């Protein structure tokens, strides 16, 4: 019989969102008439922008034509898409990139997981707590950790608490680490880091020969001027950071699937012999072998996001979600519930009322208000006592959910 990868057995719980789905499924089965409002997983609800849809349709029509048919594309993505992203999304930030430094993919979740392929197992990894579960779980899966302790922390990982006390920007690790996951605007807390705060991380990474894995999936939701959209806005970051971006939340591509990874050419790692080696070359090699590129119509649809018309439409949807975030934030505050985020991010991180545990609040909110959110402890033990609400719902539903919460918990 084939041996399995035993590391999977170390994983404490099922992946968070299917677990929530299971509980909600049980509730709706038992309560078929309940009008359940889902503000749990950060899944978008509004349709694709018309300009994006048109590009998508046109690209499908290309596939019906012998002249315009597209077969395998470049594994790294089409140059015309990378050029557009660099021009429209990075240049305005003062960040110069080459197309050879950008890898278009089928989404950030896979990229955040796949990046581990190019790093040795004995790297020490630093991960936030609470955190997007993919960073943690994929390190367990590849075998980089020991067992989990009672709190749910895996042996061998350096955890960086995101707390009210540190304003949800973690302290630098005391020990030397090699790989550091940072996500800003942060999932799940919805909070952001300033340039000065990110500069400390870049300085630490350079001083310790560490690599920052910077997840910028929510950068399009930043509204406060001066908050960095990219790690490369920080001097020195090209020597020490890989950046992940996504069209999922920015342009409603959660089902369409498209993301990107930036691996600067000057970014180096070391071989077992202590020689320096280009991470860009390694990621390119990995991509060419294990990936055949995001599909042609998807990349054409992604390119349309950057047309003037496309961006105006996409931006209007982002504004719609951010208005939902405002409704949730203000509603919670008026009910006397402390909360964070929701200004530069579509997530609101609230302190559970009455000192309830995160899962107790989840159950109460579901049973009594018929509203679904995400328990903070599902993102890590430091998330205990917190709860995440997503602003990606339909406005009417979001307003109704806030009304129900206020009726239940408002003073």
What SS3 string covers the chain?
CCCCCHHHHHCCCCCHHHHHHHHHHHHHHHCCCCCCEECCCCCCCCCCCHHHHHHHHHHHHHHCCCCCCCCCCCCCCCHHHHHHHHHHHHHHHCCCCCHHHEEEECCHHHHHHHHHHHCCCCCCEEEEECCCHHHHHHHHHCCCCCCECCCCCECCCEEEECCCCCCCCCCCCCCCCCEEEEECCCCCCCCCCCHHHHHHHHHHHHHCCCEEEEECCCHHHCCCCCCCCCHHHCCCHHHCEEEEEECHHHHCCCCCCCEEEECCCCCEEECCCCCEEEHHHHHHHHHHHHCCCCCHHHHHHHHHCCCHHHHHHHHHHHHHHHHHHHHHHHHHHHCCCCEEECCCCCEEEEECHHHCCHHHHHHHHHHHHCEECEEHHHHCHHHCCEEEEECCCCHHHHHHHHHHHHHHHCC
Q: How far is the CB of 324 from ligand MLT (least distance, A)?
A: 15
* Residue nearest to ligand MLT as judged by C-beta position: 42
Instruction: Compare residues 41 and 158 and give the one whose CB is closer to ligand MLT.
Output: 41
Q: Which is nearer to ligand MLT, 13 or 60 (CB)?
A: 13
Question: Mask of contacts with ligand MLT, 177-216, x by CB under 6 A?
Answer: ----------x-----------------------------
Q: Which stretch binds ligand MLT (CB under 6 A): 37-45, 93-101, 157-165, 303-311?
A: 37-45
Q: Which CB atom, from 159 or from 244, has the smaller least distance to ligand MLT?
A: 244
41 binds ligand MLT (CB under 6 A): yes
Closer residue to ligand MLT, CB minimum distance, 42 or 342? 42
| Closest distance of CB 158 from ligand MLT, Å | 22
Going by C-beta distance under 8 Å and a sequence separation of 6 or more, which residues neighbour residue 48? 56, 251, 252, 253, 256, 301
Nearer to ligand MLT, 130 or 264 (CB): 130
C-alpha 199/C-alpha 172 separation (Å) is 11
For 334, residues 6+ apart whose C-beta sits below 8 A from its C-beta are 406, 410
Binding positions for ligand MLT, 102-161, rule CB under 6 A: 109, 132
**Minimum distance from residue 288 beta carbon to ligand MLT (Å):** 25
According to the binding rule CB under 6 A, does residue 77 interact with ligand MLT? no
Whole-number minimum distance, CB 231 to ligand MLT, in Å? 19
Q: Closest separation between CB of residue 340 and ligand MLT, Å?
A: 16
Question: Residue 139 CB, nearest distance to ligand MLT (Å)?
Answer: 16
| Cβ at position 40, least distance to ligand MLT in Å | 7
Minimum gap (Å) between residue 356 Cβ and ligand MLT: 21
Instruction: Please choose, out of 23-31, 38-46, 295-303, 329-337, the segment that lies near ligand MLT by the rule CB under 6 A.
Output: 38-46
C-beta of 109 vs 245, nearer to ligand MLT: 109
In whole angstroms, the minimum distance from the beta carbon of 72 to ligand MLT comes to: 27
Query: By C-beta, is 109 or 144 nearer to ligand MLT?
Result: 109
Q: Which residue's CB is nearer to ligand MLT, number 43 or number 203?
A: 43
User: What CA–CA distances, in Å, run from 188 to 175, 178, 237?
Assistant: 25, 23, 24
If the CB atoms of residues 218 and 409 are measured against ligand MLT, the closer one turns out to be 218
Q: Does 300 bind ligand MLT (CB under 6 A)?
A: no
What's the closest the beta carbon of residue 239 comes to ligand MLT, in angstroms? 28
User: Is residue 324 close enough to count as binding ligand MLT by CB under 6 A?
Assistant: no
Q: Which is nearer to ligand MLT, 264 or 383 (CB)?
A: 383
Contact 126, 160 (CB under 8 A): yes
For 292, other C-beta atoms within 10 Å of its C-beta total 13
Which lies closer to ligand MLT via its Cβ, residue 47 or residue 336?
47
Cα atoms in the Cβ-side hemisphere of radius 13 Å centred on 97: 34
Least Å distance, CB 53 to ligand MLT, is 22
Give the length of the chain. Answer: 411
Instruction: Answer yes or no whether residue 42 interacts with ligand MLT by CB under 6 A.
Output: yes
Stretch in the footprint of ligand MLT (CB under 6 A) among 41-49, 60-68, 230-238, 316-324: 41-49
What residues form DSSP beta bridges with 246? Answer: 259
Residues contributing to the site for ligand MLT (CB under 6 A)? 41-43, 109, 132, 187
């Amino acid at each position: 019989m084939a041996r399995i990868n035993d590391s999977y057995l170390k994983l404490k719980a099922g992946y968070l969102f299917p677990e929530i789905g299971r509980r909600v499924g049980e509730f709706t089965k038992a309560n078929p008439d309940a009008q359940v409002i889902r503000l749990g997983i950060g899944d978008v609800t509004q349709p694709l922008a018309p300009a994006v849809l048109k590009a998508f349709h046109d690209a499908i029509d290309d596939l019906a034509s012998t002249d315009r048919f597209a077969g395998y594309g470049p594994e790294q993505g089409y140059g015309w898409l990378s050029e557009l992203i660099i021009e429209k999304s990075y240049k305005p930030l003062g960040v110069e990139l080459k197309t050879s430094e950008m890898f278009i993919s089928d989404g950030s979740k896979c990229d955040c997981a796949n990046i581990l392929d190019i790093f040795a197992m004995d790297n020490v990894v630093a991960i936030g707590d609470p955190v997007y579960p993919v960073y943690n779980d994929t390190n367990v899966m590849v075998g980089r950790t020991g067992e989990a302790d009672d709190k749910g922390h895996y042996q061998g990982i350096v955890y960086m608490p995101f707390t009210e006390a540190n304003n949800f920007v973690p302290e630098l690790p005391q020990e030397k680490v090699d790989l550091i996951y940072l996500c800003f605007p942060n999932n799940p807390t919805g909070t952001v880091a300033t340039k000065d705060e990110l500069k400390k991380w870049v300085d630490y990474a350079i001083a310790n020969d560490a690599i920052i894995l910077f997840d910028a999936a929510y950068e399009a939701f930043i509204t406060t001027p001066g908050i960095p959209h990219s790690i490369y806005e920080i001097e020195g970051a090209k020597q020490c950071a890989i950046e992940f971006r996504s069209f999922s939340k920015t342009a409603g591509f959660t089902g369409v699937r498209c993301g990107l990874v930036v691996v600067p050419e000057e970014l180096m790692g070391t071989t077992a012999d202590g020689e320096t080696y280009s991470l860009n070359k390694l990621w390119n090699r990995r991509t060419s072998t294990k990936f055949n590129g995001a599909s042609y119509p998807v990349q054409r649809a992604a390119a349309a996001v950057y047309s003037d018309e496309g961006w105006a439409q996409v931006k209007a949807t982002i504004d719609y979600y951010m208005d939902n975030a405002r409704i949730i934030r203000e509603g919670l505050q008026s009910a006397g519930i402390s909360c964070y985020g929701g200004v530069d991010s579509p997530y609101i991180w609230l302190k559970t009322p009455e000192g309830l545990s995160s899962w107790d609040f989840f159950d109460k909110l579901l049973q009594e208000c018929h509203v679904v959110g995400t328990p903070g402890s599902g993102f890590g033990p430091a998330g205990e006592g917190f709860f995440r609400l997503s602003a990606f719902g339909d406005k009417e539903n979001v307003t109704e959910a806030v009304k129900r919460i206020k009726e239940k918990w408002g003073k």
